[in-house]
Amino acid sequence: MLARLTMIASGATRATRKGRFPNDEALEPQAIDRAAALAASLRRADHVWTSPALAARQTAEALGFDATVEPLLADQDFARWAGKGFEEMQAKDPEGMEAWLSDPDAAPHGGESLAAVARRVAALIERLGAESGHTIALTHAVPIRAAMVHVLGAPLSSIWKIDIEPLSLTEFRSDGRRWVLHASGVVAG
């Protein structure tokens, strides 16, 4: 049984362009145009899922997909850090930032820990491994990084060494026994 998972990072938002923690906001207009241009180059899919976030749903729409919302694809919940800049939080809460970057179980922002994101993404990948067909998943950088680390069997701390660009594609394949990282970092448009 062959399964393929193509994860597409949602298009850029104002927060992503300004180095801010994600907040549920709309895509930038140029991201919609870039996603529409990408649509023709995507392979047919048996299933298309999207994160519940507005940016992911708008990316799916711009790609011409009638996607089903899959809660396991949600971005990390940054709670009180959402919408704030990385440097701003480094200055206001250096201990919290250090804990977040060094301890996968920490959630100093009051939201979801990195380990919790990794567990839900791993559950989704393992569920897909038992099915055949091609699934396209519109999601965010943190869940895509978590999927990569899971498939590679790498320590969760290595997540911070992976860069995921808006509208980039990461593809995984499974033979029903194991997943492999097939392609990563392909930037659309």
Of 31-45, 46-60, 70-84, 163-177, least confident by mean pLDDT is: 31-45
Single-letter residue type at 57: R
Mean pLDDT calculated for residue range 126-149: 94
User: And the tokens for 16?
Assistant: 């992503």
- pLDDT of 58-104, one tens digit each? 999 999 999 999 999 999 999 999 999 999 999 999 999 999 999 99
Going by pLDDT thresholds of 50, 70 and 90, the confidence category of residue 172 is: very high
Indicate if the pLDDT at residue 11 is higher than 90. Answer: yes
Cβ burial 137-175 (10 Å sphere, 16+ → b, else e) = bbbbbbbbbbbbbbbeeeebeebeebebebbbbbbbbbe
- For residue 131, the SS3 value is coil
Q: Which residues contact 147 (CB under 8 A, 6 or more apart)?
A: 5, 7, 121, 122, 125, 170, 172
Going by pLDDT thresholds of 50, 70 and 90, the confidence category of residue 129 is: confident
67, burial (CB in 10 Å: exposed 0-12, middle 13-18, buried 19+):
buried
Can you list the domains of the chain with their CATH numbers?
3-187 (3.40.50.1240)
- pLDDT of 112-121, one tens digit each? 999 999 999 9
Pairwise CA distance, residues 117 & 98, whole Å: 18
User: And the tokens for 68?
Assistant: 């089903």
Going by pLDDT thresholds of 50, 70 and 90, the confidence category of residue 158 is: very high
